[in-house]
């Protein structure tokens, strides 16, 4: 039988648009002498934005397309006309997608609500020559280029948003249970791994009382190390507020239900130790196929561990209501579905800038300093904060920028331009 593979991870590269270049232009009009510089600014590059789409359930759209680039800003034009800003690139992902920096694993965003997230910011537009006109520099013949947009290698991970997660070995009746208590329609067959992708169902228990249940595909021993479906679906248990452990108490697959219970719990703990403390109840399914002795032995074992236990026949919805009532009661006192906190980019180490390359050029009394690392550094600087400015000054000194400006012949009160930041040089 053929299956459609479920994609819950993807690695892609996103690049925001570059800013447009500023224009060098001078006003030319009959009867108007010395019209002066009128070059316009370049447009801002488009951002890369991620948003949740409830119609998506996998990351399969990223299987073949791996590079995404927003539109670049247009260059400035004469008559002080600004270049058109580039269009933002909006990428839709399933709700519950966690976006990480591929190299470091840093969490950049958790797309778990309706709020769009800007992941890569477009480059700034360069200034036209009209910006550089002064009483002593009346005809500046230079403009600023636009800055490049941000670019990231991203790891996307889909972690389902569900209140309750159904866990257990394959073919124990999880799909039958979620089909019986919700409008979800998972495929149900008498063989292993019928469920190859998580299935979400909404369970309603009266007005204003509902919760989301996820049928997590069956686990086997070694799943925490990647065996079987392994990590492909264990990650979806991470967010669940509580777990329902479904066990085939009849042993119809030739396994011991107690050993099954212990094995699945070991895999959950090995994958994430926090799951060992996640609230859990136990559903003993297929009771119609078990002997009285089997039922009594398993119930005694589970209650001895302190878990609430509910015997049932999920296929015909016998015994499921008491369990659903218990779930509703427990959810009233549990924290909301977890959300991954965004992690700030680490502050750059001053010493790491000492060997970085940069260029210094002079044009009509303005000294331009450029370098890719400087652009990255400036995105972390708050130029309205005194301590942040002091840090920026220390980096310019330790990296050799100040010495290079002196060697280039800069004088007191000359203008230094580092991308879109300008200051008067002071010895």
Burial 22-52 (b: 16+ CB within 10 A, else e): bbbbbeeeeeeeeeebbbbbbbbbbbbbbeb
Residue 166: CB atoms within 10 Å: 29
User: Is the pLDDT confidence value at 221 over 80?
Assistant: no
CATH class of this structure's domain 348-427: alpha beta
d(CA 416, CA 368) in angstroms, rounded, equals 6
Q: Quick one: pLDDT at residue 132?
A: 83
At residue 227, the pLDDT reads: 41
What does DSSP assign to residue 183? S
Q: Which CATH architecture has domain 164-331?
A: 3-Layer(aba) Sandwich (3.40)
What is the value of pTM for the model shown?
A: 0.77
What percentage of the chain exceeds 70 in pLDDT?
88
DSSP-based three-state secondary structure for 52: strand
Comparing 315 with 234, the larger pLDDT belongs to 315
pLDDT at 201: 86
Mean pLDDT of the chain: 86
Confidence band, pLDDT 50/70/90 cuts, at residue 102: very high
pLDDT in tens, 246-295: 999 999 888 899 999 999 898 888 888 888 889 999 999 999 999 999 99
CATH 3.40.50.300 domain span(s) along the chain: 164-331
CATH superfamily of 1-158: GTP1/OBG domain (2.70.210.12)
Tokens (6 digits) for 37? 């510089």
346 vs 95, residue with greater confidence: 95
Position 244 confidence tier, pLDDT thresholds 50, 70, 90: very high
Confidence of residue 350 (pLDDT cuts 50, 70, 90): low
Residue 193, pLDDT score: 45
Q: For position 385, what pLDDT does the model report?
A: 87
CATH 3.30.300.350 domain position(s) in the chain: 348-427
pLDDT digits (tens, 9 = 90+) for 59-69: 888 988 999 99
User: pLDDT at position 275, please?
Assistant: 84
d(CA 166, CA 179): 12
pLDDT score of 147 more than 60: yes
How far apart (Å, rounded) are the C-alpha atoms in residues 127 and 76?
Answer: 8
The answer to whether 156 touches 133, Cβ cutoff 8 Å, is no
**Which residue stretches of 276-385 are H helix?**
292-304, 320-331, 372-378
Q: Which residues of the chain form CATH 2.70.210.12?
A: 1-158
pLDDT of residue 195: 43
Report d(CA 15, CA 152) in Å as an integer. Answer: 7
Encode 354-366 in three state secondary structure: CCCCCEEEEECCE
Lowest-confidence segment of 21-35, 80-94, 147-161 by average pLDDT: 21-35
Residue 401 phi, psi dihedral angles, 5° rounding: -65, -45
> For 225, phi and psi rounded to 5 degrees?
-105, 5
Pairing of strands 164-167, 117-120: unpaired
pLDDT at position 344: 81
What is the arithmetic mean of pLDDT over 179-184? Answer: 82
């Amino acid at each position: 039988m053929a299956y459609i593979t479920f994609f819950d991870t993807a690695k892609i590269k996103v690049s925001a648009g570059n800013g447009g270049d500023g224009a060098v232009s001078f006003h030319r009009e009959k009867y108007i002498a010395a019209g002066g510089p009128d070059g316009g600014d370049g447009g801002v590059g488009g951002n890369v934005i991620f948003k949740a789409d409830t119609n998506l359930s996998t990351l399969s759209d990223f299987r073949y397309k791996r590079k995404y680039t927003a539109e670049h800003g247009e260059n400035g034009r004469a008559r002080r006309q600004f270049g058109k800003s580039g269009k933002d690139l909006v990428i839709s992902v399933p709700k519950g997608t966690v976006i990480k920096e591929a190299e470091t694993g840093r969490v950049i965003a958790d797309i778990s609500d309706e709020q769009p997230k800007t992941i890569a910011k477009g480059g700034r537009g360069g200034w036209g020559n009209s910006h550089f006109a002064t009483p002593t520099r009346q005809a500046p013949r230079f403009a600023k280029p636009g800055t490049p947009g941000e670019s990231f290698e991203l790891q996307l991970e889909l972690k389902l948003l569900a209140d309750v997660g159904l866990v257990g070995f394959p073919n124990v009746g999880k799909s039958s249970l979620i089909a019986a208590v919700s409008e979800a329609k998972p495929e149900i067959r008498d063989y292993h791994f019928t469920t190859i992708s998580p299935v979400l169902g909404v369970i309603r228990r009266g007005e204003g009382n509902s919760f989301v249940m996820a049928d997590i595909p069956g686990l086997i021993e070694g799943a925490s190390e990647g065996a079987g479906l392994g990590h492909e679906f264990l990650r979806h248990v991470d967010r669940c507020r509580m777990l329902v452990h479904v066990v085939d108490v009849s042993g119809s697959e030739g396994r011991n239900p107690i050993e099954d219970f212990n094995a699945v719990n070991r895999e959950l703990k090995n994958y994430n130790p926090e799951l060992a403390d996640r609230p859990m109840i136990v559903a003993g399914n297929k009771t119609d196929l078990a002997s009285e002795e089997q039922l009594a032995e398993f119930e005694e074992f589970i209650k001895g561990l302190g878990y609430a236990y509910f015997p049932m026949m999920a296929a015909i919805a016998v015994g499921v209501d008491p369990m659903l009532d218990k779930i509703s009661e427990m959810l009233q006192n549990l924290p909301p579905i977890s959300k991954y906190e965004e992690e700030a980019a680490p502050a750059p180490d001053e010493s790491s800038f000492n060997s970085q390359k940069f260029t210094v050029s002079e044009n009509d009394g303005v000294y331009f300093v450029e370098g890719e690392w400087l652009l990255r550094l400036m995105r972390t600087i708050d130029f309205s904060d005194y301590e942040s400015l002091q840090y920026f000054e220390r980096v310019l000194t330790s990296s050799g920028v100040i010495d290079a400006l002196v060697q280039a012949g800069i004088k007191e009160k000359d203008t230094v331009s580092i991308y879109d930041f300008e200051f008067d040089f002071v010895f």
